[in-house]
Structure 1
Amino acid sequence: MKLAVIQPHLHVYGGVEKVILEIAKNFDVTVYTLTYKPESLYPEFGNLDIRVLKPMWPSALLPSNRIFNALKASWTFYKTELDDYDIINPHGSPAEWIANKNSNVLWYNHGIMREVFDISSFRRKAYKPPTRVAHFVFSNIFKFIEKHMVKNISYTLTNSNYSKTLLWKYLGIEAEVLHPAVDLGHFKPKAHSKYFLVVSRIGYEKRQHYAIEAFKKFIQKTKRKDWKLIIAGGYGDGGKAQEDYFNMLKSIAPKNVQFMLNITEPEKRKLIENCYALLFPSMNEPFGIVPLEAMAAGKVVIVMRDCGGPLDYMQEGKNGFIAPSIEAMADRMNFLVEHRKINEEMGKFARKYVFNNFKTHDFIRAFKKACRLVMGG
């Protein structure tokens, strides 16, 4: 079965990229993108047929920033026609605009475009007045076209019940939930070292400041000054909003908070395998692959109640905790440190839970079933 996989940008180690690689292992795949940076990707992408599309005129004349890059991608996919494929498989938004000139479109939705539907007030304030106007105009045009574009999509898969809810809320379309898989073999249970870990791109929506405040409360309550908080993640592609937020993080972080930016995948794996527990303070996350990777490494995960997608797999008191507040996150951290045996037993349960519920075989089987449905078989 020949698939054309559409992804706006390929330039990070991320959950979307892992899903694409799993699909590529099981199909005859050609990947279409506007940005391809192999040095910032999993090395397996070097074995794929990747074709870089040039922005269509007149969008090619636009300057480069988050808003205009999204506009370039939208217009380019809208105008692109692909032949000789059984399935057209868009992923990250606005790849679904490929449905304008193509049929047999199976959209694997990884979450709505936050820049349009769910932009944070922090990011909006970082825009200068002309950019705010441009964002307002672009967002409303995008929403109007998007609502019509999705009607051309043959079938939609999405990564979580949270994403499914938003697709219905904003676009009025039904979607089948298909959770991404986790390769248990990539992560091994190792040490429980004296540090809590946060792994995510630096950004207000990721709320690393929640983790810092929780860690400060943990230290204040327990006097455990030999413990650390490590915040690891991507930085450098988020413009002024990201820069302002990172400066704020540094201003509130005590000396035993360590920032590790733009780490490699092996470095991330080592940090996860040796942390004491993972903190996941993000809000409204479409899915959240990192908590599952931590569970695969036998680690307990603490999320916030408004985390979004991770609520699909969080089991309170079994593989982690769902904290309603920063104070509660600090309390759970203290509990795990004071009850090391419970922490280890919960970690074992978490690893087994991932093995039983997020198998690659099950993901591919469900994906193939959706492909056959699109093709009428």
Structure 2
Amino acid sequence: MSQPSRQIKCVIVGDGTVGKTCMLISYTTNSFPVEYVPTVFDNYSTQLTYDGNTVNLGLWDTAGQEDYDRLRPLSYPQTDVFVLCYSVMSRVSFDNVINKWAPEIRLHCPETPIILVGTKIDLRDNAEARKALDTDNHLPISRSQGQKMANKIKAIAYLECSALTQQGLRQIFDEAVRIIKMKITFLHPDLGIGGAERLIVDAAIAYKENGHTVDIVTNHYSEEHCFEETKQFKITTINVFPRSVFGRFVALCAYIRMIIAAVWMCIFKRDSDVFFVDTVSACLPILKLFTTSRVIFYCHFPDQLLTKRETFCKKIYRYFLDGIEGYTTGLGDVVCVNSKFTESIVREILTPLKDRDLEVVYPSLNTKHFDKQEECELEVIPKNAEHIFVSINRFEFKKNVEIALMALDCLKMELTDDELSKVCVIIAGGYDKLNKENAENYEYLKRLGKNLDIDTNNLIFIKNPTDQEKVQLLRTCKMLIYTPSNEHFGIVPVEAMYMGKGVIAMNSGGPKETIKNGVTGFLVDENPSEMATIMKMAVRNQIDFKKMSFECNSRVKNLFSFELFKERLESLL
């Protein structure tokens, strides 16, 4: 699939006769003009490849004479970068950098980056040219003087060139492309609390830290049920269509809601350089048809594998939606998946992507966020609890949290009364009161605990733990219990390992890539008694937790660090 070209507007300013036009002609035509022709305003365009991406560079030549001081700023709106030129053979043009040009740019475009360029460096060693200099002692402006000036006006870079010899010429425009930061708009269905949401938030933070402008568009967002870091972003909620029709057609409604949001983005966010979409691909045709922006689609897992087909009508309904998913997922300029496991499933299920290049981008951990969380008191934990096991998931049936309860029931039979009195399993997770399944799953787990006759001191439920509470749970626990089967990736085990805690997880899906069995945790079959065996070993300290803690932390830093994640995301642009 052909990649959309990135559009960059570069405006060239500076005194007349410093060589702006010669510089542009030499760069775009590879030839030096014989005669001097003063420029009023002119445009040049060139296409280049940078980091494997095609860039259309629009070069706007401006007049430096005072007669055009009122007209020149009309060229400035939507400028991505200014190239401010002076001649190394002219003190007047050099002084005007700080006296005239930098103030003019900052007045009209205060946030736009500036590259300061010294021109005509081929004349520095020309004896005849030096005699005519207007500088002190007939000396050209030195590189160190130019660099000091760049520092004064807070230019992003200082470069020098000769339009005649083309020395340093290409580097100027390569730098202009390199320093341009993009406008990136994320589109996500429901910005609540979950693994997919964690990925989107971390990706937004990564791009922001890399200097890009980031906005988020979503169909649902509540400050009462979100990751704390979302509050640093501009978030637009497009919620004009219901989540369901009388409790039915949830997937179809999600498709429609995302399509409506995409239409809104085509109107109000069409200046975005990149659209980063995840979960629902049905909106991609809208973005591809009505914008020229680059589209990145992040596939957490094929949607068609996340639902059941109990009735004939449901099969017909899903056949229609599955076809949409299969076709639209491949429309992204870049298609990412969260693990090699997901990659294999996508190629198998979404046949149009069988031979498509897929980018495996592991979710990451923003370790700075974890490090800054202060200690807090978790009053719900019994004072005598010494062996704490934590499960952190959304309250959804597919997360199989009941396995943890059944394992605890098995563990009761294996421990002495004294040992059992010091055991506590904490079930913590995202709970959205507007989500019917969350309520049903929560009540189901509560009933199951009661039916299994598990003491309330051994089993604690926590709805919507804060980030601080979540980190404290991981600090406090002995091990993490991770119950989903064939989980696409699973960020929670990575979070636990960073905190130095081993993980008991199902021997399937993403955890087989994140957890090193027997080293950073244990992979078990979907069998409560097998999980209970590992828990008993933990209670009786038959595991070298000091060594496991070191291995866990090292594995996260080597494979899932936030810096690696940032570099990987940047390469997608």
TM-score class normalised by the smaller sequence: 0.7 to 0.9
2:490/2:510 contact within 8 Å kept: yes
2:190/2:220 contact within 8 Å kept: yes
Q: For 1:62-141, what aligned pairs fall within 5 Å after superposition?
A: 62=245, 66-67=250-251, 69-77=253-261, 79-80=263-264, 81=266, 82-94=269-281, 97=284, 98-101=286-289, 102-103=291-292, 104-113=294-303, 116-119=304-307, 133=313, 135-141=314-320
Q: 1:32 aligns to what SS in structure 2? A: strand
Amino acid at match of 2:364: A
- Name which of 193, 196, 206 aligns with 1:12: 193
Structure 1 regions of 5+ residues with no counterpart? 372-377
CA distance in 1, matches of 2:564, 2:283: 24
Q: Could you say which structure has the larger radius of gyration?
A: 2
Q: Which residue of 1 aligns with 2:389?
A: 196
Q: Which residue of 2 aligns with 1:246?
A: 442
Q: Which residue of 1 aligns with 2:332?
A: 153
CA distance in 1, matches of 2:273, 2:517: 42
- Is 224-233 or 332-341 further displaced after alignment? 332-341
- The structure showing larger relative contact order (alpha-carbon pairs under 8 Å, at least 6 residues apart) is 1
- Name which of 488, 491, 506 aligns with 1:304: 506
Amino acid at match of 2:411: F
Q: Which residue of 1 aligns with 2:236?
A: 51
Q: How many residues are paired up? A: 357
Amino acid at match of 1:109: C
Q: How far has the Cα of 1:302 moved from its partner? A: 0.6
CA distance in 1, matches of 2:231, 2:557: 28
Q: Which residue of 1 aligns with 2:166?
A: none
CA distance in 2, matches of 1:60, 1:237: 14
Describe the shift of the 1:21–1:140 C-alpha distance in structure 2 as closer, same or farther (beyond 3 A).
farther
Between structures 1 and 2, the one with greater helix share: 1
Describe the shift of the 1:300–1:239 C-alpha distance in structure 2 as closer, same or farther (beyond 3 A).
same
Q: For 1:1-377, what aligned pairs fall within 5 Å after superposition?
A: 1-12=182-193, 14-16=197-199, 17-26=201-210, 27-55=212-240, 62=245, 66-67=250-251, 69-77=253-261, 79-80=263-264, 81=266, 82-94=269-281, 97=284, 98-101=286-289, 102-103=291-292, 104-113=294-303, 116-119=304-307, 133=313, 135-172=314-351, 173=353, 174=356, 175-187=358-370, 193-223=386-416, 224-226=419-421, 227-237=423-433, 239-253=435-449, 254-255=454-455, 256-306=458-508, 308-324=509-525, 325-339=527-541, 342-371=544-573
Structure 2 regions of 5+ residues with no counterpart? 1-181, 376-384
1:161/1:177 contact within 8 Å kept: yes
Amino acid at match of 1:195: I
Q: How far has the Cα of 1:350 moved from its partner? A: 0.3
Q: 2:489 aligns to what SS in structure 1? A: coil
Amino acid at match of 1:362: L
TM-score (structure 2 length as normaliser): 0.57
1:6/1:89 contact within 8 Å kept: yes
CA distance in 1, matches of 2:283, 2:489: 19
Describe the shift of the 1:140–1:24 C-alpha distance in structure 2 as closer, same or farther (beyond 3 A).
farther
2:493/2:514 contact within 8 Å kept: no
2:244/2:253 contact within 8 Å kept: no
1:287/1:310 contact within 8 Å kept: yes
2:493/2:503 contact within 8 Å kept: yes
Describe the shift of the 1:337–1:261 C-alpha distance in structure 2 as closer, same or farther (beyond 3 A).
same
Describe the shift of the 1:241–1:317 C-alpha distance in structure 2 as closer, same or farther (beyond 3 A).
same
TM-score (structure 1 length as normaliser): 0.85
Q: 1:235 aligns to what SS in structure 2? A: coil
Amino acid at match of 2:278: H
CA distance in 2, matches of 1:186, 1:193: 27
Q: Structure 1 vs Structure 2: percent identity of aligned residues?
A: 23
Describe the shift of the 1:95–1:11 C-alpha distance in structure 2 as closer, same or farther (beyond 3 A).
farther
Describe the shift of the 1:248–1:60 C-alpha distance in structure 2 as closer, same or farther (beyond 3 A).
closer
Q: How far has the Cα of 1:109 moved from its partner? A: 2.1
- Is 192-201 or 288-297 further displaced after alignment? 192-201
CA distance in 1, matches of 2:297, 2:287: 9
Deviations 1:96-134 (A, max 9, x none): 535453442111222222xx33225xxx77xxx8xx94x
Amino acid at match of 1:21: I
Q: How far has the Cα of 1:68 moved from its partner? A: 5.2
1:210/1:326 contact within 8 Å kept: yes
1:196/1:230 contact within 8 Å kept: yes
Q: 2:420 aligns to what SS in structure 1? A: coil
Deviations 1:176-203 (A, max 9, x none): 111122133444699x942111000112
Q: 2:504 aligns to what SS in structure 1? A: strand
Deviations 1:259-288 (A, max 9, x none): 111221111111111001000011122211
Describe the shift of the 1:149–1:94 C-alpha distance in structure 2 as closer, same or farther (beyond 3 A).
closer
Q: How far has the Cα of 1:293 moved from its partner? A: 0.6
Amino acid at match of 2:299: N
